C-alpha cells in the first residue's frame, strides 16, 4: 500500500567533488553508500555517508543545506551534471533516492561558474546574487510610510503573475545550468515581480538598468535563449520573464537616453 515501504533498500556509488578550500585543486573521490531506504532524501544519504566518514577518521563532505523543504535556496548540488538533480521543479533537498536505481554511480559536484567560487567541497559563495539584489531589487518604502494596503487595487492576474516570478528562491541553479553562466532568469524574476505591481512602477527603469549592469559587472554572461535556466529552476520560473526583462531593459535604456540623469541607475 505504502510505496516507501514496499521498495527494497538500494546501494549506490557516489563520485563526490572534494576541494579543501577556495582556489585549491579539487578531485573526485568515490564513496559507497549502502543499504539505503528509497524514501530517504539525497541529503539524508549525505548525512549518513558523512557520519560514516567521521567515524572512519576522514573529513566529512561539506555541502550547503538548511530548510530541507525546498524553500530556503541553500542547497545547491549538481547531481549527474544537473543542478538539483534529475527531477524538474525541485531543489536538491527534495530529491529522493527512489529516483535512483540500485547500483547507480552518481556524480555530485558544486556549481561551476566564476561568479560563484567554491568555498569547500560542494559549497559555493553566492554572494553575487545578494549584490544584484542590493543594486535595485527593492521598492523604496520607509517603514511606517505606507498607505492602507487596499488603497491601490492590484488586478488578480497581475498579482498571480508577480507571484509566479516572486517564488524565486535565489539558489543559483539557473546560472549554474547556463552555458554562459547567465543570471538573466534570476534578474528577470525580480524585475518582473516588482514591475508587474503598481507599487513597483516608480523605480522600474532604474531597477532594471542597475540590476542588469551589476550582473554584467560580476561576471555573469548573457542569455542566448537556450532555457536551461527554467529547466533547472526548482520553482519552474518561466523564461518568458526573460523576454519581459529584455523589454523593460530596452525601454529603460531608450528613456534613459533622453534623460541623462536617470542613467546612473545604481546611485541613491
Partner 1 sequence: MAQLDSRIPPGPLADKWRAHQTGIKLVNPANKRKYEVIVVGAGLAGASAAATLAELGYRVKSFVFHDSPRRAHSIAAQGGINAAKNYQNDGDSVYRLFYDTIKGGDYRSREANTYRLAEVSVNIIDQCVAQGVPFAREYGGLLANRSFGGAQVSRTFYARGQTGQQLLLGAYSALSRQIAAGAVQLFTHSEMLDLVVVGGHAKGIVVRNLETGELTRHAADAVILATGGYGNVFNLSTYARGSNATAIWRAYRRGACFANPCYTQIHPTCIPVTGDYQSKLTLMSESLRNDGRIWVPKRAEDRRKAPGSIPEADRDYYLERMYPAFGNLCPRDIASRAAKRVCDEGRGVGESGLGVYLDFSDAIARLGEKGVRERYGNLFDIYHEITDENAYRVPMRIFPAVHYTMGGLWVDYNLMSNVPGLFVLGEANFSDHGANRLGASALMQGLADGYFVIPYTIGDYLATQKPGARPAPDAAEFREAEANVRGLTERLLGVRGREPVSHFHKRLGHILWNHCGMARNRAGLEQALREIPALREEFWGNVLVPGSGATLNQSLERAGRVADFLELGELMCRDALVREESCGGHFREEHEYPDGEGKRDDAHMAHVAAWEYQGEGRAPLRNVEPLAYEFVKMSVRNYK
Under the binding rule (CB under 8 A), the answer on residue 218 touching partner 1 is no
Considering only residues 126 through 185, tell me which ones interact with partner 1, judged by CB under 8 A: 126-127, 129-130, 133-135, 137-150, 152-156, 159-160, 162-163, 166-167, 169-170
Strand partners, 105: 13
Q: Is 248 helix (H, G, I), strand (E, B) or coil?
A: helix
Interacting span for partner 1 (CB under 8 A) from 67-75, 78-86, 176-184, 219-227: 67-75
Q: Which stretch binds partner 1 (CB under 8 A): 10-18, 174-182, 197-205, 220-228?
A: 197-205
Whole-number minimum distance, CB 261 to partner 1, in Å?
Answer: 19
At which residue does the C-alpha cell 526548482 appear? 234
Site pattern 230..249 for partner 1 (x: CB under 8 A): --------------------
CA 156 to chain centre: 27
Which listed residue (10, 14, 64, 245) binds partner 1 by CB under 8 A?
64
Q: Minimal CA–CA distance to 123: which of 20, 15, 13?
A: 20
* Strands (E) located in 37-156: 78-79, 82-83, 105-109, 118-120, 123-124
Span 77-116, contacts to partner 1 by CB under 8 A: 89-90, 94, 96, 98
Cell readout for 250 is 530596452
Q: Which is nearer to partner 1, 98 or 179 (CB)?
A: 98
**Dihedral sign of CA atoms 40, 46, 52, 54 in order:** negative
Gap between the Cα atoms of 254 and 140, Å rounded: 23
| Cross-strand bridge partners of residue 30 | 15
Nearest to 22 by CA among 110, 128, 92: 110
For partner 1, the closer of residues 17 and 129 by Cβ is 129
Near partner 1 in 21-40, by CB under 8 A: 21, 37, 39-40
Number of residues that bind partner 1 (CB under 8 A): 86
Does 117 engage in binding with partner 1 (CB under 8 A)? Answer: no
CA distance 41 to 99: 10
Q: Minimum Å distance from CB 225 to partner 1? A: 27
Pick between residue 160 and residue 226 the one whose CB is nearest to partner 1: 160
Which residue, 126 or 223, has its beta carbon nearer to partner 1? Answer: 126
Checking DSSP bridges between strand 105-109 and strand 10-19, what pairing results, if any?
parallel
Angle at 238 between CA 236 and CA 243, to 5 degrees: 160
- Burial string for 207-216 (b: 16+ CB within 10 Å, else e) reads bbbbbbbbbe
Question: Is position 41 an interface residue for partner 1 (rule: CB under 8 A)?
Answer: yes
CB of 245 to partner 1, least distance (A): 16
* 254 lines the binding site for partner 1 (CB under 8 A): no
Task: Name the minimum Å distance from CB 226 to partner 1.
Answer: 26
Cβ-based nearer residue to partner 1, 129 or 227: 129
Give the nearer residue to partner 1 in terms of CB position, either 92 or 223.
92
Amino acid at each position: 500500500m505504502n510505496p516507501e515501504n514496499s521498495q527494497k533498500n538500494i546501494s549506490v556509488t557516489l563520485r563526490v567533488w572534494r576541494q579543501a578550500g577556495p582556489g585549491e585543486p579539487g578531485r573526485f573521490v568515490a564513496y559507497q553508500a549502502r543499504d539505503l531506504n528509497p524514501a530517504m532524501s539525497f541529503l539524508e544519504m549525505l548525512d549518513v555517508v558523512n557520519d560514516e566518514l567521521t567515524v572512519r577518521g576522514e573529513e566529512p563532505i561539506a555541502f550547503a543545506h538548511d530548510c530541507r523543504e525546498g524553500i530556503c535556496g541553500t542547497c545547491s548540488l549538481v547531481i549527474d551534471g544537473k543542478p538539483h538533480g534529475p527531477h524538474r521543479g525541485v531543489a536538491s533537498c527534495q530529491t529522493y533516492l527512489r529516483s535512483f536505481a540500485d547500483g547507480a554511480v552518481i556524480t555530485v559536484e558544486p556549481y561551476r561558474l566564476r561568479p560563484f567560487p567554491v568555498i569547500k567541497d560542494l559549497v559555493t559563495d553566492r554572494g553575487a546574487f545578494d549584490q544584484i539584489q542590493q543594486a535595485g531589487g527593492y521598492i523604496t518604502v520607509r517603514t511606517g510610510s505606507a498607505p492602507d494596503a487596499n488603497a491601490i487595487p492590484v488586478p488578480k492576474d497581475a498579482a498571480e503573475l508577480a507571484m509566479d516570478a516572486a517564488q524565486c528562491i535565489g539558489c543559483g541553479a539557473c546560472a549554474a545550468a547556463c552555458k554562459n553562466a547567465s543570471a538573466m532568469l534570476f534578474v528577470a524574476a525580480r524585475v518582473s515581480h516588482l514591475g508587474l505591481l503598481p507599487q513597483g512602477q516608480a523605480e522600474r527603469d532604474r531597477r532594471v538598468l542597475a540590476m542588469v549592469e551589476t550582473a554584467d559587472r560580476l561576471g555573469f554572461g548573457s542569455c542566448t535563449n537556450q532555457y536551461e535556466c527554467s529547466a533547472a529552476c526548482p520553482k519552474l520560473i518561466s523564461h518568458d520573464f526573460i523576454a519581459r526583462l529584455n523589454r523593460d531593459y530596452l525601454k529603460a535604456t531608450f528613456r534613459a537616453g533622453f534623460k541623462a540623469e536617470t542613467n546612473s541607475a545604481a546611485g541613491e
